[in-house]
Structure 1
Amino acid sequence: METGSHTTKAQFALFLCLTINFTGQSFLLVVLPPLGRLLGFSDIQTGAILSISALLLMASAPVWGYLSERIGRRPILLTALAGAAITAAAFSAIVSLRLAGSLSALLTLGLFMSVRTAQSIASSGLLPAAQAYMADITTPAQRAGGMGVLGSAIGLGAILGAALAWKIAPTDPAWAFAIIAVLAVIALASLLLFANEPVRGAHNISLDARLPLARIWPLLLITVVSISAYSILQQVIALRLQDALGFTVEESISRGGAALMATAIAMIAVQACAIRLFRWDPARLLGVGAVLAVVSMLICSMVNSYVEIFGTLVLLGIGLGLMLPGNLASLSLRTGAGAQGKAAGINVVAQGLGQAIGPLSGAALHRISPQVPFVAATILLTIACVVAICTWRSTKRMTGLIEPQSI
């Protein structure tokens, strides 16, 4: 186990790395749909880029997780950050050359697909390695707090990515990609300076190593459908503003980014403050959050002004801010101590599946009507809500499995 000073520095490095990585991911998800049109891509081609890359991330993450057990956490983290820096710089160059007329639309599409593929494969090891690293440097009593640091980093990255899309991408998307590349280099330096390879000993080994799929599959289903719904929203929000409300490309990027940033801020605020204040058990967090998410998305599918869309997305952030931590905590509590890593790895696959389903289906449904993707997201969240309520009820029948706690 690391000393207190070394642990704090390592946690800071992990926080920075995840923040920067998810800044880049969030930025690309927000910007690429309208930017793709500017570069000469069809909506389906743009959705295919995001969906195929999500499938690659899903397939490669468990491999990186296995490698982190064989060669260590730090090499995986360094590889992921180096890949993030190089690919962001490549995106900047491609966009700049295309907008200058030096590249054809077809060549730009091929280059974008290739770079995004490399980015997905390289960066997919960051989250499983970071989670494993955090488990190595924290005691069981510190584990929830340590994982909370990682969750906060992901949320902050979503905000920063949306902010870049809002403030910089409408006028100079190539410069925004360059900023992400520089930030990735800074995060890489923090890893080199502050995150030594953690010492792993006998405390990492447990006899309770079987994965209880019969107990956790409903929670994995919730992960798939909720991430699918949120990915649909990220894919089509700017397109809806452009096609249904008549915004320009620049306005749709800016205001779509602002709305998604507000959603992420609401999620972080709930996770940082409301959850600790309420002190609800994880199953209750999951159930209440799922109900709020369904109601907000249903309203969002019916409203016809930017202000109304913005408000319902803030409510969605509140719902997801309760729902997602409740789901992760429930997943952990239903899994034995020796299978936490296995459960986390499978959950990453479930997240990747949701991220693959969302963009392509969102783009396809948007061709029918700008409102249809939001109706589909409502249906997916309704499935999550039903499963969450059933999980809540079943949890009450399990004696001693889940106790109220602060997350």
Structure 2
Amino acid sequence: MQPKKVIFLSMIICYIGFGVIIPILAPLIREIGLQERHAGIVISIAALVLLLAAPFWGVQSDRIGRKKVMVIGFVGFSFSLAFFAFLGWMGMKDLLPINVVFILLLSSRIMFGFFFPAISSSSQALMADITSVQERSAGMAMIGAATGIGFIIGPALGALLSTINLIFPVIITAILALIAVILIAIHIPKAEPTVVANKRTKIKLTTSGLRPYLLIATSVMSMIVMLQVTSGFFIQDRFLLDSKETAIWVGIGMFAVGIMMALVQMTIIQKRQYSPRRLVRIGLPILLLGFVLLIEWNHLAGFVIAFMLFGIGGGFLMSGYTTGISLAAGKENQGAAGGLTAVATGVGSLVAPIVGTELYRIHPNTPYWICITISLLLIIYVFSSHKGLVIDHTAKKETRENKASLV
């Protein structure tokens, strides 16, 4: 199996693990006897650790190789999911005091946050290693498509298998992560192309063209995570659904996100090879429209259509900022670039869950009005900014070396 296919399948499994919890989190939290804010804290603690761990794994990916980091990441990832499932079962059975369950749930998410960026940063770096500059957008779109497919399967798996037991889909995902370890061990070569080993990375935040895409990544992930952590409560309260119905409809919504994201990235972006700037300019207005529709259309059909728009907009945006960061970093710093991408998305994931759940307590629509405001500000920025969103000198040099132009 080719390394590209292994990366693709590995990232699908990775994001199945990320997405499988989404439809079950709100009903699980309430089944255990916790409150909405506890769900926000559970998500935020993972984001905090991810933020701290991402630079470490990015550097290790450059130093010891993508394969080792991917294997370590998936083993820890699998254990964290299995531990989360076990604690969820203990909590629902009232076998432990509720405060103990909450603290242990936090510990399982700390493990999740630590090992997740090992997978994402090394996969992104490996894809950059094996693609030329002119193929970079398509390569990153392939990772984005895998993310979208993972979001299709993960929430759908969570919604479907939660009818057996709320924690059963998490157990299945832990097993899938071990399968990913086997695929990587067999099919990823020991010496990946263009890996720079035993060399300190020199990527700086002052690098031309880097900061705008980091800002976009952080802002977009803040909105996405705020949506993820509140959508279960939102749909349950607005349409008066029970726990299983909530899990199913959130699963349908996430399925819509994933399938539209995958379609955009596997068709339009793969064929068109848009520049990063154009990708974010297309994605942001679509994302904005999704939030407006979510608030204004008081029907389950509107909920699903809004999530389809989130998938389309997210597909363009994810490919845009990952490609922009990769090109700005230069080919010798792709592990560090993957780490920076994880840091940027981690920053967004850190604050958004707690802020989102607290805003939800004020009014169910408040988190989404905040997202609308952020989207509008970003739209103004990306359409008025020309200098900061173009490919930097490092990417231009690499482009000239490959006799291709991406601007």
TM-score by length of 2: 0.88
SS of aligned partner of 1:244: helix
Amino acid at match of 2:49: L
SS of aligned partner of 1:164: helix
2:69 is equivalent to residue 90 of structure 1: no
The Cα offsets for residues 313-364 of structure 1, whole Å up to 9 and x where unpaired, read as: 2122222222332233334444544455444432221100111122111111
- TM-fit CA distance, 1:382: 1.7
Looking at structure 2, the residues matched to 328 and 213 of structure 1 have their Cα atoms a distance apart, in angstroms, of 15
- TM-fit CA distance, 1:386: 1.8
Relative to structure 1, the CA distance from residue 203 to residue 183 in structure 2 (aligned partners, 3 Å threshold; closer, same or farther) is: closer
Looking at structure 2, the residues matched to 302 and 135 of structure 1 have their Cα atoms a distance apart, in angstroms, of 41
Looking at structure 2, the residues matched to 397 and 161 of structure 1 have their Cα atoms a distance apart, in angstroms, of 34
Matches within 5 A, 1:1-400: 8-140=1-133, 142-199=135-192, 212-276=206-270, 280-391=274-385
- TM-fit CA distance, 1:114: 1.0
Relative to structure 1, the CA distance from residue 102 to residue 152 in structure 2 (aligned partners, 3 Å threshold; closer, same or farther) is: same
Looking at structure 2, the residues matched to 275 and 134 of structure 1 have their Cα atoms a distance apart, in angstroms, of 16
Looking at structure 2, the residues matched to 236 and 121 of structure 1 have their Cα atoms a distance apart, in angstroms, of 23
Looking at structure 1, the residues matched to 390 and 59 of structure 2 have their Cα atoms a distance apart, in angstroms, of 35
Looking at structure 1, the residues matched to 392 and 129 of structure 2 have their Cα atoms a distance apart, in angstroms, of 30
Identity %: 26
Conserved in 1, the CA contact under 8 Å of 2:147 and 2:258? Answer: no
Conserved in 2, the CA contact under 8 Å of 1:282 and 1:404? Answer: no
Looking at structure 1, the residues matched to 391 and 100 of structure 2 have their Cα atoms a distance apart, in angstroms, of 58
Relative to structure 1, the CA distance from residue 200 to residue 336 in structure 2 (aligned partners, 3 Å threshold; closer, same or farther) is: closer
Relative to structure 1, the CA distance from residue 202 to residue 95 in structure 2 (aligned partners, 3 Å threshold; closer, same or farther) is: closer
Amino acid at match of 1:67: Q
Looking at structure 2, the residues matched to 68 and 313 of structure 1 have their Cα atoms a distance apart, in angstroms, of 34
1:4 maps to what in 2?
none
- TM-fit CA distance, 1:262: 0.2
- TM-fit CA distance, 1:208: 9.5
- TM-fit CA distance, 1:79: 1.1
Conserved in 2, the CA contact under 8 Å of 1:302 and 1:371? Answer: no
Looking at structure 2, the residues matched to 95 and 202 of structure 1 have their Cα atoms a distance apart, in angstroms, of 40
Looking at structure 1, the residues matched to 152 and 256 of structure 2 have their Cα atoms a distance apart, in angstroms, of 8
Relative to structure 1, the CA distance from residue 396 to residue 176 in structure 2 (aligned partners, 3 Å threshold; closer, same or farther) is: closer
Looking at structure 1, the residues matched to 232 and 115 of structure 2 have their Cα atoms a distance apart, in angstroms, of 28
Relative to structure 1, the CA distance from residue 132 to residue 104 in structure 2 (aligned partners, 3 Å threshold; closer, same or farther) is: same
Ranges in structure 1 where 5+ consecutive residues have no aligned partner? 1-7
Amino acid at match of 1:9: Q
SS of aligned partner of 2:257: helix
Conserved in 1, the CA contact under 8 Å of 2:257 and 2:307? Answer: yes
Looking at structure 2, the residues matched to 256 and 214 of structure 1 have their Cα atoms a distance apart, in angstroms, of 40
Conserved in 2, the CA contact under 8 Å of 1:81 and 1:184? Answer: yes
Looking at structure 1, the residues matched to 184 and 326 of structure 2 have their Cα atoms a distance apart, in angstroms, of 27
Amino acid at match of 2:229: Q
Amino acid at match of 2:219: V
- TM-fit CA distance, 1:162: 1.1
Relative to structure 1, the CA distance from residue 340 to residue 73 in structure 2 (aligned partners, 3 Å threshold; closer, same or farther) is: closer
The Cα offsets for residues 270-323 of structure 1, whole Å up to 9 and x where unpaired, read as: 111123455544322211221121122122222222111211221222222223
Looking at structure 2, the residues matched to 110 and 245 of structure 1 have their Cα atoms a distance apart, in angstroms, of 31
Looking at structure 1, the residues matched to 203 and 110 of structure 2 have their Cα atoms a distance apart, in angstroms, of 33
Looking at structure 1, the residues matched to 149 and 201 of structure 2 have their Cα atoms a distance apart, in angstroms, of 36
Relative to structure 1, the CA distance from residue 93 to residue 301 in structure 2 (aligned partners, 3 Å threshold; closer, same or farther) is: same
The Cα offsets for residues 150-171 of structure 1, whole Å up to 9 and x where unpaired, read as: 2222221111111112211244
The Cα offsets for residues 116-162 of structure 1, whole Å up to 9 and x where unpaired, read as: 11121122211111222333344555544443332222221111111
SS of aligned partner of 2:178: helix
Relative to structure 1, the CA distance from residue 260 to residue 392 in structure 2 (aligned partners, 3 Å threshold; closer, same or farther) is: farther
The Cα offsets for residues 360-384 of structure 1, whole Å up to 9 and x where unpaired, read as: 1111111011111111111122222
- TM-fit CA distance, 1:97: 2.6
Conserved in 1, the CA contact under 8 Å of 2:66 and 2:192? Answer: no
The Cα offsets for residues 78-135 of structure 1, whole Å up to 9 and x where unpaired, read as: 1111112222222222222322332222221121111111121122211111222333
Conserved in 2, the CA contact under 8 Å of 1:211 and 1:339? Answer: no
Ranges in structure 2 where 5+ consecutive residues have no aligned partner? none
SS of aligned partner of 2:222: helix
- TM-fit CA distance, 1:207: 12
- TM-fit CA distance, 1:219: 1.8
Indicate the RMSD between aligned Cα atoms, in angstroms. Answer: 2.9
Conserved in 2, the CA contact under 8 Å of 1:15 and 1:150? Answer: yes
